[in-house]
């Protein structure tokens, strides 16, 4: 189908009269191959036609597409007076131009990224955390999000003054719990040490970053009772959208104690159906672990793959059910699946990690040891699993001393 047949005459005219028009057919084909609905394709084409009208009025260079796209969204859309029909919704325009950039890059044109000094500095920090410190992607993203506001307080990415550091920490820590505050101070300290690694003097700044008191093993880990787990697993009615995918995700979390990032990284090749095992490769500790695959978990995954998973070349198990269907789901899908299951089951919880605590408690209550808990949860150090000793009621009762003055 010709792309211009899918457009209104004004939109088709605008595309033909601009440098964007040469990529219109490839753009149209890209959206259709990825399974976008017809109305979404028309919406994105109208966004592209609006961008084409704007770009035809000025000196336009495809190699600077990112710069032009930002100017279009930030400067033109808020005060747009173009003759209709045009699409002015910023998030729709951004999504449409993201596909356009992919088409331009596929054609062989190099699109230059904007050289923001702060972005360049944070990119080096991210590489340092990965290559030198060996941190997982989720931890790196968290630290970048924390230090970006601090880095942006200086011009050109220079070192912040002691006053800026104190003010930043005071604002951030005043609204955080002690545990979250330690995460923030750790990120800032890591940022300063990176600056020292690059040769800058930070000796006068490091003493300002003191971690608040927080006793990691003080609270009891929050867990679900066995009846609550049953209620949670029963909270998937037959009319629930993407029910089989949601149930398979929940089984991976409840039965295997997987993190959200580990669930979405599972691939079809990771499961050995004959041996009844699952390989967990993309873990926080960057190790490859082999776990037994419970029958209930394997059955839920098999039902999803056979009955609901779209046909795709992707080897990831859990993929999107709406366009683009060849893209794996994000960790947010796992978190939303668990959070909505809590709500349907009438449980006052929101976090996925509670289910890891619940699995550890269940292992201990059925006779397992802390070493077995560490193996199943894939902790690198046994000390990480010591917190679960507090929920082992049977063994704690056996060693508890009588209260003074009570009957022995």
Predicted confidence at residue 283, as pLDDT, reads: 60
Same domain (yes/no): 376, 239: yes
CA-to-CA distance for 34 and 143, rounded, in angstroms? Answer: 34
Same domain (yes/no): 196, 340: no
Q: Which of 208, 236, 256 is the last residue of a domain?
A: 208
Answer whether 191's CB lies under 8 Å from 153's CB. no
Q: Is residue 293 part of a domain?
A: yes
Q: Is residue 405 part of a domain?
A: no
Q: DSSP letter string over 256-293? A: H---HHHHHH-BGGGEETTTTEEEE-S-TT---EEEE-
Q: What total of structural domains would you count in the chain?
A: 3
Q: DSSP letter string over 84-117? A: SS----HHHHHHHHHHHHHHHHHTTPPPPPP--H
Q: Is residue 369 part of a domain?
A: yes
Q: Which of 179, 208, 237 is the last residue of a domain?
A: 208
Q: Is residue 408 part of a domain?
A: no
Range of the domain at 386: 226-395
Same domain (yes/no): 191, 242: no
Q: Which of 60, 83, 106 is the last residue of a domain?
A: 106
Same domain (yes/no): 201, 88: no
Same domain (yes/no): 313, 189: no
Q: What is the pLDDT of residues 57-111, one digit of tens each?
A: 888 888 888 888 889 999 999 998 888 778 888 999 999 999 999 999 988 887 7
Q: Is residue 111 part of a domain?
A: no
Position of tokens 């699995």? 359
Same domain (yes/no): 251, 367: yes
The three-class DSSP label of residue 310 is coil
Same domain (yes/no): 245, 362: yes
Predicted confidence at residue 58, as pLDDT, reads: 81
CA-to-CA distance for 375 and 93, rounded, in angstroms? Answer: 48
For residue 237, the domain's CATH number is 1.10.443.10
Q: What is the pLDDT of residues 186-245, one digit of tens each?
A: 999 999 999 999 999 999 999 999 887 766 666 667 889 999 999 999 999 999 999 999
For residue 155, the domain's CATH number is 1.10.150
Q: Is residue 213 part of a domain?
A: no
pTM of the model: 0.76
Same domain (yes/no): 264, 356: yes
- Please count the other Cβ atoms lying within 10 Å of the Cβ belonging to residue 66: 14
Q: Is residue 345 part of a domain?
A: yes
Same domain (yes/no): 102, 122: no
Q: Is residue 400 part of a domain?
A: no
Beta pairing partners, 316 = 267
For 139-158, give one letter per residue: b (16+ CB within 10 A) or e. bbebbbebbeebbeeeeebe
CA-to-CA distance for 10 and 82, rounded, in angstroms? Answer: 12
Same domain (yes/no): 34, 133: no
Answer whether 293's CB lies under 8 Å from 304's CB. no
Written as tens digits, the pLDDT of the chain (408 aa) is 788 777 888 888 888 888 888 898 999 999 988 888 888 998 999 999 999 989 888 888 888 888 888 899 999 999 988 887 788 889 999 999 999 999 999 888 877 665 678 888 999 999 999 999 888 888 899 999 999 999 988 877 788 899 999 999 999 988 888 878 889 999 999 999 999 999 999 999 999 998 877 666 666 678 899 999 999 999 999 999 999 999 999 999 999 999 999 999 999 999 999 999 999 986 666 678 899 999 999 999 999 999 999 988 899 999 999 888 888 999 999 999 999 999 999 999 999 989 998 998 888 888 888 788 888 888 877 667 767 666 666 665 565 567 676 665
Same domain (yes/no): 203, 238: no
Same domain (yes/no): 371, 236: yes
């Amino acid at each position: 189908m010709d792309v211009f047949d899918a457009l209104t005459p004004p939109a088709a005219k605008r595309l033909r009269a601009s440098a964007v028009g040469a990529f219109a057919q490839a753009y149209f084909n890209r959206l259709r191959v990825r399974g976008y609905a017809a109305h979404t394709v028309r919406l994105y084409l109208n966004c592209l036609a609006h961008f084409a009208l704007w770009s035809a009025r000025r000196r336009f260079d495809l190699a600077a597409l990112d710069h032009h796209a930002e100017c279009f969204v930030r400067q033109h859309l808020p005060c747009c007076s173009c003759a209709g029909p045009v699409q002015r919704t910023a998030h729709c325009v951004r999504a449409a131009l993201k596909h356009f950039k992919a088409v331009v890059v596929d054609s062989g044109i190099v699109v230059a990224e904007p050289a923001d000094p702060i972005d360049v500095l944070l990119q080096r920090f991210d590489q340092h955390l990965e290559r030198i410190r060996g941190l997982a992607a989720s931890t790196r993203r968290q630290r970048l999000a924390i230090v970006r506001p601090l880095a942006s307080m200086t011009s050109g990415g220079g070192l912040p003054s002691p006053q800026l550091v104190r003010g930043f920490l005071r604002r951030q820590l005043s609204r955080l719990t002690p545990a979250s505050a330690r995460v923030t101070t750790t990120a800032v300290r890591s940022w300063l040490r990176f600056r020292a690694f690059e040769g800058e003097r930070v000796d006068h700044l490091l003493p300002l970053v003191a971690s608040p008191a927080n006793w990691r093993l003080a609270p009891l880990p929050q867990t679900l009772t066995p009846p609550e787990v049953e209620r949670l697993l029963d909270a998937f009615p037959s009319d629930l959208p993407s029910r089989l995918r949601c149930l398979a995700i929940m089984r991976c979390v409840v039965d295997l104690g997987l993190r959200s990032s580990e669930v979405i990284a599972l691939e079809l090749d990771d499961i050995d159906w004959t041996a009844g095992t699952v390989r967990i490769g993309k873990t926080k500790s960057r190790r490859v672990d082999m776990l037994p695959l419970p029958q209930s978990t394997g059955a839920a995954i098999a039902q999803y793959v056979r009955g609901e998973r779209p046909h795709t070349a992707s080897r990831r198990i859990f993929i999107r059910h709406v366009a683009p269907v060849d893209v794996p789901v994000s960790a947010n899908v796992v978190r939303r699946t668990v959070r909505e299951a809590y709500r349907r089951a009438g449980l006052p919880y929101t976090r996925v990690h509670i289910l890891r605590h619940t699995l550890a408690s269940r292992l201990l209550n059925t006779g397992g040891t802390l070493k077995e808990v560490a193996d199943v949860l894939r902790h690198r150090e046994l000390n990480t699993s010591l917190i679960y000793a507090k929920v082992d009621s049977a063994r704690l009762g056996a060693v508890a001393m009588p209260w003074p003055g009570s009957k022995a």
